Amino acid sequence: MSDVLRVAIAGLGTVGAETMRVLRDNADLLTARAGRPIQVVAVSARDRAKDRGVDLGGVAWHDNAAELAGRDDVDVVAELIGGSEGIAKDLVEAALGSGKSVVTANKALVAHHGTALGALAEVNGVALAYESAVAGGIPIIKTMREGLSANRIERVYGILNGTCNYILTVMRETGRPFADVLADAQELGYAEADPAFDIDGVDAAHKLAILSSIAFGTTVDFDAIDIQGIRPISPVDLEYAQELGYRIKLLGIAEQTEAGVQQRVKPCMVPMTAQIAQVDGVFNAVAAEGSSVGPTLSYGRGAGAGPTASAVIADLVDIAADRKVPVFGVPGAALSAPRAAGIESLSGSYYIRLMVIDRPGVLADLTAVFRDERVSVEALIQSGRDPGEIVPVVLTTHETEDAAIRRSVAKIADLEAVTEEPRVLRIEAI
């Protein structure tokens, strides 16, 4: 073990540059905390000429990131490139395979290949650290793997995508439609030019897959996640949520059920008084419920150069201090393949919003469907009267099975008076 922890950084976007800056600016403090200096000795990025606001003097430059894995003078590779395949994956595999620890902010990579990469790290006796891949600056990986190690985790859920949370927050506060708010978010830099990854729930699902693996001691099972994004949410749904005492949040939820591990990313209703309902704007929060500790919640910035660099450096300090943790909390051999439970195995309460032609008999038709499917209606709101026009009708149900809701909604969608696809949201018991 060298006296200095020698780091190579692959990818000098805002996170990579900020990581370099903080490592230098806080060098004395970090050395005291880590027990030895942490020094960047090599970097790789696409454009050497670009001004990133950090001095690259004395640091080896590689146009090809893969070369970082071959350097004998590197102890740790920080992979800040991104993407589940290609250069990032090749680099991480090569680095682990050559006995180098890896720190990565790459949620897609860990969600898709975490189990295999974890095994590779274990075989080579090195770390694969990914604190920055989940919920940015919130040290939730450390919290779950170490801070809550006494607990059997019963459920983990969270607001895992700041873009979606920002959009939902602004829609609620302003009543403006999804597309408008998304366009603003793109201008403000809170959403990408191609926003699909965020707003369709894929990014949140990557993070959920990782949290689920740690929570339940299972191999990473991204493909089992039931994913739905926030595009279908209308301002009218946010208004009804408010009226009913809820907030609409895009939550990633992984829970142990009798049928197995159920993982989902979906917009849902949460009671307005729940701690997580208060998390607004670009912030993230992750709640873990443990057998001894009960409910916990960790809150902070889930993205951005500063918070992400904070997590990258925390991983580097752990490696410098030789603090070792099994990649997913237990040795790879102890990870079980999760028995995946489908969403149809759930029961719960539901919010259903319909657009119907306001005419006699419509409510009777609707309620007949629910009666036939043995779904118990808790509340029914038909706010305005406007004979012959299209008006919203909102129902909430008592606890029922997901399958019964699906059947009911399919029948209702076929009713002549129902003019658009019914909007169905689970009311999560949180």
> Is 301 an interacting residue with respect to a second copy (CB under 8 A)?
yes
> Is 22 an interacting residue with respect to a second copy (CB under 8 A)?
yes
The position carrying tokens 């993407």 is 83
The two structure tokens encoding residue 263: 């993982």
Residues paired with residue 211 on neighbouring β-strands, in sequence order: none
Give min distance, CB of 307 to a second copy, in A: 5
Among 118, 137, 201, 229, binds a second copy (CB under 8 A): 137
| Torsion, CA 16, CA 22, CA 27, CA 29, rounded to 10 | -130
Spatial distance between the Cα atoms of 182 and 130, rounded to a whole number of angstroms: 29
Give min distance, CB of 246 to a second copy, in A: 15
The two structure tokens encoding residue 181: 């708010």
The two structure tokens encoding residue 5: 């922890």
324 is catalytic: no
> Is 293 an interacting residue with respect to a second copy (CB under 8 A)?
yes
Applying CB under 8 A, the site for a second copy has a residue count of 59
Spatial distance between the Cα atoms of 358 and 104, rounded to a whole number of angstroms: 55
- Closer CB to a second copy, 34 or 109, in the complex: 34
Q: Which of residues 233-292 bind a second copy (CB under 8 A)?
A: 275, 278-279, 290-292
DSSP characters for 32-43? Answer: HHHSS-EEEEEE
Interface mask toward a second copy for 305-344; x: CB under 8 A: -xx-xxxxxx--xx--xxxxxx--xxx--x----------
Residues paired with residue 402 on neighbouring β-strands, in sequence order: none
Interface mask toward a second copy for 342-381; x: CB under 8 A: ----------------------------------------
Give Cα 44 to chain centroid, integer Å: 27
The two structure tokens encoding residue 38: 């942490």
DSSP characters for 391-402? Answer: EEEEEEE-SEEH
> Is 299 an interacting residue with respect to a second copy (CB under 8 A)?
yes
Spatial distance between the Cα atoms of 365 and 357, rounded to a whole number of angstroms: 12
- Interstrand relation of 60-62 and 76-79 (parallel, antiparallel or unpaired): unpaired
Angle at 215 between CA 214 and CA 221, to 5 degrees: 65
- Among 89, 142, 207, 266, the active-site one is 207
> Is 32 an interacting residue with respect to a second copy (CB under 8 A)?
yes
Among 30, 191, 230, 412, binds a second copy (CB under 8 A): 30
Among 7, 138, 168, 424, binds a second copy (CB under 8 A): 138
- Closer CB to a second copy, 229 or 338, in the complex: 338
Interface mask toward a second copy for 42-81; x: CB under 8 A: ----------------------------------------
**Distance of CA 282 to CAs 220, 302, 307, Å?**
26, 7, 12
> Is 193 an interacting residue with respect to a second copy (CB under 8 A)?
no
For a second copy, the binding residues (CB under 8 A) are 18, 22, 26, 29-30, 32-35, 131, 137-139, 142-143, 145-152, 217, 275, 278-279, 290-301, 306-307, 309-314, 317-318, 321-326, 329-331, 334
Which residues have a catalytic role annotated? 207
